[in-house]
Structures are given as structure tokens and as C-alpha cells.
Structure 1
């Protein structure tokens, strides 16, 4: 899977991506709305291996996002099959993690739009979901910029997050191929 935008390249993970992605995953601010919070290098290695397996199995996945200008890994973004913790599945979800130096530059929106275009045109998907903790305003704002919509009746508690943790209540967003802007 290779997707290009004017500034970015979404591509399979490479060995050279592990160290910078591990740095991003060890940043408490980057992982603020994720559970578990920070990841070790070994956990990042395992995450990338899982993403690679998913890509090989399904033809789409959570991939590396590289800035074309200098080849810098800015994070990961892509599509994956959502887990059973998401009500009403099966679903294909879009998700992202960008390293802090690359925030607020429009990269996540640019990459996510291209990823959704790929979902509709190349994969023929009818719908993609996104979900995040209720308190994750930055990701919720991005989903809304993408044209994704939520219905409070579909909010759910993420059972992979311990009870009482403020990250447990989640909001589910949807976008259909017919909702394209």
C-alpha cells in the first residue's frame, strides 16, 4: 500500500522507522489519550509487526507516514479492522499517531483524507469508523474536519481500558463513501 499526497507518503513500515516511532510512542504528550499510555521500544516493535501482518492479510493497514521533503517519519496512520470491543462490528477504522514536532501543520488531515479516498476508490469500502476517548478533543476535531459524524447513542466504554479511567468513555464516528466532500 502506497499513498502519496503533495507533502506525504503513506507506505509500509521499514526498519528505519522503528526508532523514531518508538520516540513518539514514549512521549507522554503524544500518548496522552491512549491506553496504555507510553510504549517501550519493544512494544513499538510489536505494534509495527502487528501492523505489517494486518497489511499482508487484508491489503490495507496502519502504515508509516513519511514527509517527502526530507524523508522524516512523522508518525503512523491508516486503516485497520477494529477489534471486538467496538459495538456493532465488524468495522474498518481509521486511526493516527503523529510525533509532537509534526502537530498543527495539517499533516494528519492531509494523510487521513488521502487514506479515506483510498478506502473508497481502491478498497471499495462503504463506511469507515473512527473512535477515541471522549476527552480526546484533538482527534475528535480531526474526525469532524474529515466529515465524520457521531451519534451519542453509539458512545461506548472501551472495555480494554480499566473502569474509572477517564479514557474509558469513547465516542464512535462514522463516514460513508457517499459522504465524500
Structure 2
């Protein structure tokens, strides 16, 4: 199974020992304020983990657990997936992450993303990656811009998985293209 490493992190398949700490991350209202639905139960988190491991087994990539090397702490998850039907256009791969609050503002999202971008270019020979988030999620938008993603002109869309009128329904779309050889 796929395992990736950075100088500070190990990106690996989810294990049973990750279920409780990841459920705690998904039950934190501050962490989940830009996600819909906002809070996840332990059972919903277990479903996400199981689906992520299934995608990894099927596709050879996915949304992996992110462990800090120095102490083995699960800091969150990150990886590549196929965009859902709510995303306009025909984009094959999306990059994303979610980190526990204690691990914010330490460069982890950037480190995770750069690792996955390198994987997408070298291993998957992808032409581009996208990222998207709610319009009001400035921290994720800044992180996407920091890794070189640019906002797609005329790419804003309403996320149909979020109820009409909800503050999280308006979304912005970012992309990064494979560099020319």
C-alpha cells in the first residue's frame, strides 16, 4: 500500500488506531466550520476512513492518514481523490486536507500538498490538480495559493451538496497545472 514521506510527516493508509483521534478532529466545531455537514460522528468518521482505504486499494492513491514523525501523532488527513458531481468541469483529480486545530499554522498543509503534487506529476502523470472550498474559507484559499494554485476564472459554483441559502454553498475553484518539461 502507498506510503509517502516528507521531512516531518508520513502519509499512510488509515489504521484502526487512527479512528478515535480522527473522530476527535471531525467533532471539533472550529476545524469543521467550513465543511458541510459541520460535525461528524465517530461512525461517520469510520465510514470516511473505510472509503479512503477502499479508494486507495482500488486506485493506488487516495486520502491518507497524516502522521507526524517526531511523535507518531495523527495530525489529520490529506490526499487526492476524484471530484464529486458538484464540481463543474471535467477534472480528474482533486487535492485536499483536514488537520486538527493543534497542527494549524505550522506549514503542514503546504508540506502535505507539495508531496501530493509531486506524486501526481511523477507517478500519475496528471495534467492538473484542482482544489475547491467554500468562498468564505480564507485559510484554505490562502493555502491553495501558497502551493501555486490559481483561482479558475469563471469557476465559482454552488456546491449542490449544501442546502440552498447556506453560507457554505458558494464555492471557489482553484487549479495547478503540470509544469512543462
Fold conserved between structures, TM > 0.5: yes
- Residue 100 (structure 2) aligns with: 99
Distance in 1 separating the partners of 2:80 and 2:122: 14
Q: How much has 1:85 moved relative to structure 2? A: 1.1
- Residue 71 (structure 1) aligns with: 72
Q: How much has 1:152 moved relative to structure 2? A: 3.9
After superposition, the C-alpha distances for 1:5-63 in whole angstroms (9 at most, x for unaligned) are: 00000011011001000000000000000000000000000011111111111111000
Taking only aligned residues, the RMSD between alpha carbons, in angstroms, comes to 1.2
Distance in 1 separating the partners of 2:180 and 2:78: 21
User: Secondary structure of 1:162's match?
Assistant: coil
Is residue 83–residue 94 contact of structure 2 (8 Å, CA) maintained in 1? Answer: yes
Is 1:45 aligned to 2:46, yes or no? Answer: yes
Q: Following superposition of structure 1 onto structure 2, how do residues 12-161 of structure 1 map, counting pairs within 5 Å?
A: 12-161=13-162
Q: How much has 1:151 moved relative to structure 2? A: 2.6
Is residue 131–residue 173 contact of structure 1 (8 Å, CA) maintained in 2? Answer: yes
Distance in 1 separating the partners of 2:97 and 2:165: 25
Is residue 129–residue 175 contact of structure 1 (8 Å, CA) maintained in 2? Answer: yes
Distance in 1 separating the partners of 2:133 and 2:41: 22
Q: Which runs of 5+ in 2 are unaligned?
A: none
Distance in 2 separating the partners of 1:31 and 1:88: 26
Distance in 1 separating the partners of 2:48 and 2:35: 14
Is residue 158–residue 170 contact of structure 1 (8 Å, CA) maintained in 2? Answer: yes
Distance in 2 separating the partners of 1:179 and 1:69: 36
User: Secondary structure of 2:33's match?
Assistant: coil
Distance in 1 separating the partners of 2:134 and 2:92: 17
**TM-score with structure 2 length normalisation?**
0.97
- Residue 5 (structure 1) aligns with: 6
Distance in 1 separating the partners of 2:150 and 2:87: 16
Distance in 1 separating the partners of 2:12 and 2:172: 28
**TM-score with structure 1 length normalisation?**
0.97
| Count of residues paired in the alignment | 180
List structure 1 runs of 4+ shifted beyond 2 angstroms: none
Q: How much has 1:179 moved relative to structure 2? A: 7.2
Q: How much has 1:89 moved relative to structure 2? A: 2.0
Is residue 55–residue 61 contact of structure 2 (8 Å, CA) maintained in 1? Answer: yes
Distance in 1 separating the partners of 2:45 and 2:14: 12
